[in-house]
């Protein structure tokens, strides 16, 4: 079985740094997970976007809080969901003084859309198309595209003016022997609405496909992609 990121990148996957290939190259049949711990050098949000970011906290989608030197963890588990789709978790926890903020997502490879779909939040209500590319620094670059909302019978595509475009780059810094991550979310009208950058180390643990921690799985799974 091939990882969803190797499927998306094709031959370009081999141009990634070996440590990035390791982090993005496993799948459910490998019975492994990547657990990262590090520090966000800076987390920033626009006050103009505070209300929608606050609403997002109810479903673990970003948050209206900033700071520097914020400890964080990231958990990437690979498993097959209830629809048989190869799935990778992105469970991020930011440990602010007196509060832990969450930013959760699950990613699948969609044969229908010929690319990765990112379900944001802990209930998979937001489905986002992702463009995956190899970055010049041997890292992986992820850019968000069309966004769709699904709940019950309701399903529609968000106009770009009401959404944020995320630009993510993760790479390995050999000088400090850590991974680096940079995220910026922009809106056509408001400009930058949310961003963070930091460094972390990651280690791998053995897992069983039939036993993935419940707190990393979404509370509901959406069939529509």
Angle (CA) 107-109-112 rounded to 5° is 130
> Above 80 in pLDDT, residue 210?
no
* pLDDT, tens only, 138-169: 999 999 999 999 988 999 998 988 899 999 99
> Above 90 in pLDDT, residue 221?
yes
Strand blocks (E) in the chain: 32-45, 70-80, 86-96, 99-110, 115-120, 126-134, 140-151, 154-157, 165-173, 178-187, 191-206
Cβ contacts of residue 129 below 8 Å, gap of 6+? 113, 115, 116, 117, 118, 144, 145, 146, 147
pLDDT mean over 171-176: 98
pLDDT of residue 1: 81
pLDDT mean over 112-138: 96
pTM for the full predicted model: 0.95
Distance CA 106, CA 87 (A): 6
Query: In the 8-state DSSP scheme, what is residue 211?
Result: B
pLDDT of residue 160: 86
* pLDDT, tens only, 14-36: 999 999 999 999 999 999 999 99
pLDDT of residue 61: 94
Distance CA 121, CA 91 (A): 9
> Above 90 in pLDDT, residue 220?
yes
pLDDT mean over 181-189: 96
pLDDT mean over 48-62: 93
pLDDT mean over 60-78: 97
- Answer for the pair 99, 66: CB distance below 8 angstroms, yes or no: no
pLDDT of residue 209: 72
Q: How confident is the model at residue 208 (pLDDT cuts 50, 70, 90)?
A: confident
Place of tokens 């969901």: 81
pLDDT mean over 119-148: 97
pLDDT of residue 211: 82
pLDDT of residue 24: 98
First-residue to last-residue Cα distance in the chain: 21
pLDDT of residue 161: 87
* pLDDT, tens only, 79-111: 999 999 999 999 999 999 999 999 999 999 999
* Three-state SS at 32: strand
């Amino acid at each position: 079985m091939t990882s969803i990121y190797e499927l998306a990148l094709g031959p370009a996957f081999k141009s990634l740094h070996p440590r990035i290939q390791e982090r993005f190259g496993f799948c459910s049949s490998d019975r492994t997970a990547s657990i990262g711990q590090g520090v966000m050098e800076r987390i920033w949000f626009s006050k103009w976007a505070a209300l929608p970011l606050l609403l997002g906290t109810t479903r673990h989608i970003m948050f209206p809080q900033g700071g520097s030197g914020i400890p964080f963890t990231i958990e990437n588990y690979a498993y097959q969901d209830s629809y048989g789709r190869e799935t990778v978790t992105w469970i991020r926890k930011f440990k602010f003084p007196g509060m832990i903020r969450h930013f959760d997502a699950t990613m699948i490879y969609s044969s229908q859309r010929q690319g990765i779909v990112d379900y944001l939040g802990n209930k998979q209500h937001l489905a986002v198309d992702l463009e995956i590319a190899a970055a010049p620094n041997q890292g992986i670059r992820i850019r968000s595209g069309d966004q769709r909302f699904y709940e019950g019978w309701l399903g529609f595509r968000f106009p770009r003016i009401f959404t944020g475009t995320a630009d993510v780059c993760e790479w390995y810094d050999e000088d400090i022997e850590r991974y680096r991550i940079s995220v910026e979310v922009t809106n056509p009208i408001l400009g930058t609405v949310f961003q963070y950058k930091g460094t972390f180390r990651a280690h791998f643990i053995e897992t069983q496909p039939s036993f993935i921690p419940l707190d990393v799985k979404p509370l509901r799974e959406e069939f529509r992609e």
